[in-house]
Structure 1
Amino acid sequence: MARPHPEGVHAVPNGKREQFGSRFLSDPTRVFQHNAWDNVQWSEEQAAAAEKKVQENSAQRVPQEKQVDYELNARKYWDDFYKIHEDGFFKDRHWLFTEFPELAPSPNQNHPKSLPSEAKRRETLECDRSEDGPGLAVEQDMCLSNRVAEKTGAPSVEQSVTQKPSHLEQGAAEFPGSSATYRILEVGCGVGNTVFPILQTNNDPGLFVYCCDFSSAAVELVQTNPEYDPSRCLAFVHDLCDEEQSYPVPSDSLDVIVLIFVLSAIVPDKMQKAISRLSQLLRPGGMMLLRDYGRYDMAQLRFRKGQCLSEHFYVRGDGTRVYFFTQDELDTLFTAAGLEKVQNLVDRRLQVNRGKQLTMYRVWIQCKYRKPLLSGTG
């Protein structure tokens, strides 16, 4: 079994190594002074214990007939999930624009002087520690700290707008948002955790946001939200794994595709085709952004025997499913779809329950992959 990857560090073009986060635990005796710590190094003993725990909880697999049920009735399980959690599940993702500035307003919409300072951004991150993959509502471990964004080298919003595919410039058939100059699609939108912060923050008149979810209950909650604006957003039901179901936009038309805690919810064997289909929708230079569960995350270690479907793929008590990735697995999925790596990082976090004096180790992976520019465009 693979060992955990290095904690939250990555190589950058100048050869230096940058780290996630802004709060580091240098003195273990201070662990309960804050709610969370960034880039916590795992000891060899801790890594071995996590590996052993996964071996134990995956030794007994879910019977095949039950696995078929979870696949055939996946939509029902997610509908039930959102019906249960519709009142308490929505959490604004205030980390969204620091981690994914591609979703933020373009510079010509907000002058740099009006943007918060680095110190102010750190303060904002300290004040809001909510991050929410769909399973976290069930697992009751929503609280965490967030970190200061890094510089990625991705194309700026202004560059993205000017690099439109030629067939759109020449007047392709109209589609929802066809007159927009910047198009974002979120796959697995849930109840709008990402979509509404984008619409509230980004007042670019050329922006159009598409969002879809497997669950019709989730999409209904988005469409009936007072913040939903049909002139700027289109929410629709879509099965990411259905190769026969088309998206409401043509190929080479999207600037950004967002996948936050969604790829992990589908059968591993179907992931590659799903990502390859999505990559066709990106314009040259467009970006695919992902944040999802990493291998040996606390949620994986909590599963009991009999909940494992296949290697590192589990079913929760409510029938929803989750996979836990490595960086290499995600890199293979994206590069096989013809995308170029901009970022692929492990976010390893130590969460603390100061009241109960408990420590919880979380592991997420964050990725940014870009569709190559057309030859001759730079």
Structure 2
Amino acid sequence: MKEVEETEEGFYSFSSQDSRELSEDDLQKLAKQTIVTDFKRNKLEIEARKNWDKFYHRNRENFFKDRHWSAEDLKIICPDIDFEQEIKYLEAGCGVGNMMFPLVAELPNLKLFAFDFSENAVKLLAERASELGLKVATSVVDLSIPSISSPFEEKVDLATLIFVLSAIHPDKHKVAAENMRNLVKIGGTIVVRDYGVNDHAMIRFGRDARLGDRFYVRQDGTRAFYFELEELSEMFEAVGFKCVSKEYLHRITINHKKNLKVPRIFVQARFVRES
């Protein structure tokens, strides 16, 4: 997928099978990062849902912008899917629907399903869907808890996980992948995009923000994990998916006025359920 970076001064982008190499300055910043106490790590895990509910209560639908790149790029990453036919589509970790609503505006044959960890997010999404006259099956779901059943009556053809897995404790990533398997039909697709190792945001965390290897807490209590591409593909392959494509997405935002180049790194992959 090609993502549009909205910046005043401009950007450029490319994809590769490797993340970026760190500079000496980056390495020094990483060396200064300190791991938080066990007490804080445990507290953040216990309060994960509460922190996301607070986030959506505070920001409502104003924090994230709609992802208007999604329809064109889904067609590119899934060229074998006929979007002229009815497609059962799930936005997993939907937030307030910033991917789903622009997507259905361009692909009206989608049958919509959505869930999120945050009850507040799902409520906001349902309100917007009602205002737009859209029918969306919604649920509050915690992907990190083992489950053998789906909250929906049907398995979907296509699901997206956009910056979702990174918010889950890395010890529970495989559980999340297993749960996604229960939601997608055999032959169905999951498209993942998330934060990649050595992303600028990972480097700029200061002291008392590191929870573990590539795992951090933001000031609002929400968390972010930064993936290596291989571990992402191995995780889904271990639970019955085939990796069709995978890449690091390099987005370098350029601000000429401030003479800044900010290297953003994301992982992106498509997985098809085989068993």
Normalization by structure 2: what TM-score? 0.87
Q: SS at 1:330's partner residue?
A: helix
**Correspondence 1:125-204 to 2 at 5 A:** 150=76, 152=77, 154-157=79-82, 181-204=86-109
1:234 aligned partner, one-letter code? A
**Which residue is 1:78 aligned to?**
52
1:356 aligned partner, one-letter code? K
How big is the shift at 1:50?
6.7
> 1:267 aligned to 2:169?
yes
How big is the shift at 1:80?
1.1
Given that 1:348 and 1:362 are in contact with CA atoms closer than 8 Å, whether structure 2 keeps it comes out as yes
RMSD: 3.0
2:56 aligned partner, one-letter code? Y
Q: 1:92 aligns with which of 53, 66, 75?
A: 66
**Distance in 2 between the 1:50 and 1:328 partners?**
26
**Which residue is 1:52 aligned to?**
27
**Which residue is 1:36 aligned to?**
11
Q: 1:45 to 1:214 in 2, by over 3 A?
A: closer
Q: Flag structure 2 segments of 5+ consecutive residues without an equivalent.
A: none
**Distance in 2 between the 1:332 and 1:45 partners?**
21
Given that 2:147 and 2:179 are in contact with CA atoms closer than 8 Å, whether structure 1 keeps it comes out as no
How big is the shift at 1:208?
1.5
How big is the shift at 1:93?
0.8
> 1:300 aligned to 2:202?
yes
Q: SS at 1:365's partner residue?
A: strand
Q: SS at 1:290's partner residue?
A: strand
How big is the shift at 1:55?
3.9
Q: 1:355 to 1:51 in 2, by over 3 A?
A: closer
Q: SS at 1:157's partner residue?
A: coil
**Which residue is 1:290 aligned to?**
192
Residues matched between the structures, number: 271
How big is the shift at 1:371?
1.4
**Distance in 1 between the 2:71 and 2:25 partners?**
32
**Which residue is 1:119 aligned to?**
none
**Correspondence 1:1-378 to 2 at 5 A:** 35-39=10-14, 47-49=22-24, 52-53=27-28, 55-58=30-33, 60-101=34-75, 150=76, 152=77, 154-157=79-82, 181-204=86-109, 207-225=110-128, 232-244=135-147, 246-249=149-152, 253-372=155-274
How big is the shift at 1:344?
0.4
**Distance in 2 between the 1:51 and 1:219 partners?**
38
Identity %: 31
1:219 aligned partner, one-letter code? V
How big is the shift at 1:349?
1.5
Q: 1:258 to 1:54 in 2, by over 3 A?
A: farther
**Distance in 2 between the 1:89 and 1:278 partners?**
26
1:156 aligned partner, one-letter code? I
How big is the shift at 1:46?
5.3
2:99 aligned partner, one-letter code? T
Q: Which has the larger radius of gyration?
A: 1
Q: Flag structure 1 segments of 5+ consecutive residues without an equivalent.
A: 1-7, 9-19, 23-31, 102-149, 162-180
- What are the Cα deviations for residues 250-303 of structure 1, in whole angstroms up to 9, with x where unaligned? 57x210111000000000010101101211322221100011000010110110
How big is the shift at 1:156?
2.1
How big is the shift at 1:234?
1.4
Given that 2:252 and 2:263 are in contact with CA atoms closer than 8 Å, whether structure 1 keeps it comes out as yes
**Distance in 2 between the 1:339 and 1:226 partners?**
31
Given that 2:253 and 2:261 are in contact with CA atoms closer than 8 Å, whether structure 1 keeps it comes out as yes
Q: 1:328 to 1:40 in 2, by over 3 A?
A: closer
Q: 1:88 to 1:249 in 2, by over 3 A?
A: closer
**Distance in 2 between the 1:210 and 1:153 partners?**
19
Given that 2:116 and 2:139 are in contact with CA atoms closer than 8 Å, whether structure 1 keeps it comes out as yes
